[in-house]
Amino acid sequence: MSAIIEDLVVICPYCGQSMEIDVDCTGGDQSYYEDCQTCCMPVRFLINVDEHGNLSRCTARRDDE
């Protein structure tokens, strides 16, 4: 099974700037934090992967929502 890394551009929910993240789809559904490259706030990413190992949804959320 080869690693599937998706490059994504998402909008930071804190400052509204776009940021790039790498998602490893082989891990299945996951959520993790990554600091925004612009405002350094911890953005929570919710990653959904479908049954074929393809990224189906990526949601960026504030921690206080």
SS3 56: strand
* Cα–Cα distance, 37 to 26 (Å, whole number): 25
Q: How far is the CB of 38 from Zn ion (least distance, A)?
A: 4
Q: Enumerate residues 6+ apart whose C-beta is below 8 A from 45.
A: 10, 21, 23, 31, 32, 33, 34, 58, 59, 60, 61
The site map against Zn ion for 2-41 (x = CB under 5 A) is ----------x-xx--------------------x-xx--
Number of residues binding to Zn ion, judged by CB under 5 A? 6
Q: How far is the CB of 46 from Zn ion (least distance, A)?
A: 17
Binding site for Zn ion (CB under 5 A): 12, 14-15, 36, 38-39
